[in-house]
Amino acid sequence: MDLGRQSIMNKKQLKFVIGSIVIVAAIGYLVVTGITRTSVYYLKVNELLSKGDSIYDKSVRVEGKVVDGSIKKDPTALKVDFRITDGTKDMTIHYEGIIPDLFEDERDVVVEGKYTREGIFKAHTLLTSCPSKYESADKSHPEEVKKI
Amino acid sequence: MNEIGELCILLSLGISIYSTIVPILGIKRGREEYIASAENSIFVTAGLITISSVILTYAFLNRDFSIEYVANYSNRDLPLFYTVSAFWAGQKGSLLFWSLLLSLFAAVVVIQNKNKNRDFMPYVISIISITQCLFLLLMTFAARPFELIYPPEDGSGLNPMLQNPGMVFHPPTLYMGYVGFTIPYAFAMASLLTGHLGDVWIKTTRRWTIFSWFFLGMGNLFGAWWAYRVLGWGGYWAWDPVENASFMPWLTGTAYLHSVMIQERRDMLKVWNMVLIVLTFSLTIFGTFLTRSGVIQSVHSFGQGPVGYYFLAFLIIAIVFSSYLIVSRLSILKSNNELDSIVSRESSFLFNNLILVGAAFATFWGTMFPLISEAIKGEKVTVGPPFFNQVNIPIGLTLLLLVGICPLIAWKKASISNFKRNFLIPFIISIIGGIALMPIGKGHLMAWLSFTISIFVITTIVMEFYKGAIARRETTGEGFVKALITLSRKNKRRYGGYIIHIGVVLMYIGITGTSYNMEKEATLKKGESMSIGDYKVVYKDIKNNTPVPTKAEVIATMDVEKDGKIIATATPRRDFYKTAEQPISRVYNLSGLKEDLYIILAGFQEDGSATFKIHVNPLVKWLWIGGLVIGAGTLIAMLPDWKGKK
């Protein structure tokens, strides 16, 4: 094989390598910026409280169990105050929006929102999680994706 | 009866192990009759699993609650239609259903290849059989469909949310796609094993690929349609891990479907095609693993059992085996051609492929991110729909543009005149369209881009049909319409593909409508009203209704006004089932080509006031219409070739 031909070949291939790298880099860039801009911590109550100042006004997801008797519903407006616990610590949640059918005392819930300096968690999403069976699990769907 | 069902599964397992090993022995020892025997055992397996399935269906119809699966997924009140579909409503039955499909597909493959591809068939049979073994093993040890219990008075019933036509069709269509990809995968592996690496395996499985791709897509679409109608949150796609699990193989499958054309035409991208089919097959297994293991929190996982880990083990084996085969054949998988120009059909396909795989990767990364971040940083971090939208929208728009460009750009090296001929008019029209659409583009740059590119793509396709028909009319003297039909009939793959592309564009338009969604929620007293978009909705009344003893309905009636005229009476409902712990919202949806008015009765109080959530979702209907168009295009692309052609 003569060298001249080979270098032409490489030159040609180089364009494709560059083109492919550009595409891969663009997608990589989208993924990385997407993650940094949209990722949220998924924490337990005590993990959130131990974060200190760094957690204020960041979007977080917190899981916990609704404290028995803590639910204060406002029947006309679409909001509710309640406390959740992980067994060791608890915190107050203020949620505005449609309240899921399954929401009640002792239910495992996931809330998404921000922890404020007043020590109240302002949630924009309230999702009741169910035990694993396929059937009932579906119910949490509507709450999880609202407000997006 | 259940003993017979169980026995059939056990026998099938034995026979499938046999038909995994014997064909390989047949090759080793050069014994033709071994292979014939393996082919016969494929039929026997298909027969046995069919018997098993019939018995399970019969048990459902007979309300035989001594079978745990029947007791858990049906009850005496369940209507016939849903009693039959309860077969695949749960884990165990869906495994049997999967196994049934695979055994039937395998039988069809054996019949199709009775007199051809004799070198491939032993390996194909062996690979299909070992996949079948996975499901039979599961049904023998981990999830026995015929497990007995002490029969309860009545079954626990099928979740009312699953009692919807969308949920009847969603699992079978999806499974047909999942299972179908086993066939091209098996042929690809056979081609590696035999070292016969031409495009025979691709041509042989072309229809299987289109078939599987189509059903996988439709399965997703049925799921979306069901979610939209039943779940009542106003949307149809939430980037849930389970949805992603079936979206990823669809993406790589789409890439594969396109890149094989390059191999057929130009004898290139051989390694890439192998990688794509392995990836697609692996992702179908991976998706099943995700759904059934509970490793990623999802709203519709099947629960945490050992079942998922069987799939994980199988997945690892499949990946290691396939990768080893590809690597060991690298030297003979060399392309016989090379890419000439960066502006050519080949390279545009290559880029389309990279982008599709990139989208699959981004989706994978987002889905697995909680696990990845926990493993690396020790902190659980999740990403939600905003991530997937942010990443996939630019990727999707680039792909849409390529849908317009790829099919028309010249092979090898596109010239300026090729560009002018094919793209000048669409380009001008889309610019005009884009300018006309400026008012709705304000603040919705991505949506505006999507509409403008859609105009470009549709114009290219319409022009293709038009130019083809004109050329044919000139040479044959046929009328324009007749020319159009014969043209498509003589070149089904090409024009079927164009029609699929039109369907894809329509789906893009439907999805883009999401950018203009409106929603509002309010608690109204009787006689009060709320306005959204062009609509005014007046809450009239609420009442109880008990159509059947097991179900109570609470129905709100509302007048829907538009431009001062009452155009409909809306009746959103909440159903209370005896068997379900929570009520179910039944959405009222006034669906039109322009937009859907989607009303949910979110709650009600004793004083007669009620809370409503109302969405106006523009263009949603085009998503479903696009699906139908894709169906039509697929059918055309799959029809047998025109006889006069060769």
pLDDT digits (tens, 9 = 90+) for A90-128: 899 999 887 776 677 888 888 888 888 888 999 988 877
Residue A8 confidence (pLDDT): 55
Residue B395 vs residues A27, B258, B316, B352, B508: alpha-carbon distances, Å:
8, 17, 29, 10, 13
pLDDT tens, position by position, B92-147: 999 999 999 999 999 999 999 999 999 999 999 999 999 999 999 999 998 999 99
Spell out which residues of chain B touch residue A78, defining contact as CB-CB under 8 Å: 521, 523, 611
pLDDT digits 0-9 by tens, B269-323: 889 999 999 999 999 999 888 888 767 766 555 555 688 889 999 999 999 999 9
**Residue A147: closest C-alpha in chain B:** B519
Cross-chain residue pair B602–A98, CB shorter than 8 Å: yes
Q: Greater confidence, B617 or B307?
A: B617
CA distances in angstroms from B300 to A130, A136, B89, B582, listed in the order given: 10, 9, 12, 17
Q: Identify the residue with better confidence: B1 or B403.
A: B403
Residues B377 and B391 in one domain: no
Domain boundary residue among B384, B412, B435?
A: B384
Does A39 sit within 8 Å of B381, measured CB to CB?
Answer: yes
Closest among B616, B620, B585 to B232, alpha carbons compared = B585
For residue A144, the model assigns a pLDDT of: 33
Length of chain A: 148
Q: Across the interface, which of A24, A97, A134 has its CB nearest the CB of B302?
A: A134
B122 and B221 belong to one structural domain? no
pLDDT of residue A9: 56
Residues B560 and B601 in one domain: yes
pLDDT at B302: 56
For residues B631 and B512, give the distance between their C-alpha atoms in angstroms, rounded to a whole number: 21
Q: pLDDT tier at A139 (50, 70, 90 boundaries)?
A: very low
Give yes or no for residue B390 having a pLDDT over 50.
yes
Average pLDDT, chain A: 76
Please tell me whether residues B508 and B573 are part of one structural domain. no
> Is residue B450 located within the same domain as residue B546?
no
**pLDDT of B537 over the 80 cut:** yes
Query: How far is the C-alpha of B111 from the C-alpha of B261, rounded, in Å?
Result: 26
> Chain B contacts of A129, Cβ < 8 Å?
297
Interface test with chain B among A62, A135, A139, by most B beta carbons within 10 Å: A135
Q: Could you tell me how far CA B471 lies from the centroid of its own chain?
A: 37
- Residues in chain A closer than 8 A to B296 (CB atoms): none
Torsion angle defined by CA atoms of residues A94, A99, A104 and A105, in that order, rounded to the nearest 10 degrees: 0
Cβ distance of B583 and A42 shorter than 8 Å: no
- B482 shares its domain with B535: no
d(CA B291, CA B299): 10
* Overall average pLDDT of the B403-432 stretch: 87
- The residues in A 88-127 lying below 8 A from B, measured between CB atoms, are 97-99, 101-102
Closest chain B C-alpha to A33 CA, distance in angstroms: 9
Total of domains in chain B: 4
Does the pLDDT value for residue B341 go beyond 80? no
User: Is B331 exposed, middle or buried, given 0-12, 13-18 or 19+ CB atoms closer than 10 A?
Assistant: exposed
Q: Do B355 and A27 touch (CB under 8 A)?
A: yes
Nearest-CB residue to A20 (from B354, B381, B386): B354
* B391 Cα to chain A: minimum distance (Å): 5
Mean of the pLDDT values across residues A45-66? Answer: 84
Predicted confidence at residue B387, as pLDDT, reads 92
Using the predicted structure, report yes or no on whether residue B610 has a pLDDT greater than 50.
yes
Beta strands at B573-577 and B584-586: parallel, antiparallel or unpaired: antiparallel
**3-state DSSP helix/strand/coil percent for chain A, to nearest 5?**
40, 30, 30
- Residue B358 and residue A23: Cβ atoms within 8 Å? yes
Q: Is the pLDDT of residue B623 over 50?
A: yes
- Residues with Cβ < 8 Å from B155, sequence gap 6 or more? B63, B65, B70, B71, B72, B73, B74, B75, B76, B78
Give me the phi and psi of B300, to 5 degrees please.
Answer: -125, 50
pLDDT score at A148: 28
CB count, 10 Å around CB of B391?
27
- Residue A132 makes CB contacts below 8 A (sequence gap 6+) with B294, B301, B302, B303, B304
B461 and B348 both lie in a single domain: no
Q: A133 to chain B: which residues are within 8 Å by CB?
A: 303
Same domain, B486 and B585: no
Give per-residue pLDDT as tens, B199-218. 899 999 999 999 999 999 99
Provide mean pLDDT across the span B619-644. 87
Q: Is the pLDDT score of B36 beyond 60?
A: yes
What is the distance between the alpha carbons of residues B387 and B580, in angstroms, rounded to a whole number? Answer: 34
Instruction: Provide the pLDDT for residue B156.
Output: 84
Q: How far apart, in whole angstroms, are the C-alpha atoms of residue B604 and residue A120?
A: 28
- B91, B164, B233, best to mutate vs chain A, most A CBs in 10 Å: B233
With an 8 Å Cβ cutoff, are B381 and A98 in contact? Answer: no
Report, as an integer, the average pLDDT of B375-403: 90
Chain B nearest CA to A8, separation (Å): 11
Write down the pLDDT at residue B475: 87
SS3 state at B563: coil
Chain B residues inside the 8 Å CB shell of A46? none
Q: Hey, are the CB atoms on A136 and B581 less than 8 Å from each other?
A: yes
Mutation choice for B interface testing from A15, A17, A27, A144 by most B CBs within 10 A: A27
* Host H or E run for residue B437: none
Mean pLDDT of B567-589: 86
Tens of pLDDT, residues B465-494 = 999 898 888 888 888 888 888 888 888 889
Q: How many CB pairs under 8 A join A and B?
A: 152
| Residue B12 shares a structural domain with residue B114 | yes
Q: Kindly report the pTM of this predicted structure.
A: 0.90
Q: Is the pLDDT of residue B70 over 50?
A: yes
Residue the block writes with tokens 């819930």: A109
Looking at residues B225-230, what average pLDDT do you find? 89
Burial class (CB in 10 A: 0-12, 13-18, 19+), B635: middle
Task: Measure in Å the smallest separation between the Cα of B97 and chain A Cα atoms.
Answer: 17
User: B93 and B233: one domain?
Assistant: no
For residue B382, give the nearest of A61, A76, A145 by CB distance. Answer: A61
CA distance B476 to B472: 6
**What would the DSSP string read from start to end of B257-312?**
HHHHHHHHHHS--HHHHHHHHHHHHHHHHHHHHHHHH-SS--TT---S-THHHHHH
Considering only the beta carbons, identify the residue of A34, A61, A140 that sits closest to B390.
A34
Largest separation between any pair of C-alpha atoms in chain B: 85
* Residue B594, φ and ψ in degrees, nearest 5: -80, -45
Whichever domain contains B96, its CATH number is: 1.20.120
Least reliable range by pLDDT among A13-22, B385-394, B596-605: A13-22
Look up tokens 């008990």; give the residue.
B546
Give the mutation candidate from B230, B355, B381 for the A interface (greatest A CB count, under 10 A): B381
Q: Select the residue of A27, A77, A134 nearest B395 (Cβ to Cβ).
A: A27
Q: Are residues B322 and B362 in the same domain?
A: yes
Would you state the pLDDT for residue B298? 60
B223 and B121 within one domain: no
Range B397-418 average pLDDT: 87
Q: Which residues of B touch A77 (CB under 8 A)?
A: 523
How far away is chain B from the Cα of A100, in angstroms, using its nearest Cα? 9
- Assigned CATH for A41-145: 2.40.50.140
* Cβ separation B384–A136 shorter than 8 A: no
> What angle do the packed helices B445-476 and B480-490 form, to 10 degrees?
100
Q: Which of A1-5, B348-352, B631-635 has the lowest mean pLDDT?
A: A1-5
Domain hosting B56: range is: 1-158
For residue B15, name the pLDDT band (cuts at 50, 70, 90). Answer: very high
- pLDDT at res. B299: 55
Q: How many CB atoms lie within 10 A of CB B124?
A: 29
Per-residue pLDDT, A76: 63
Taking only the tens place, the pLDDT of each residue in B161-184 is 888 888 889 999 999 999 999 999
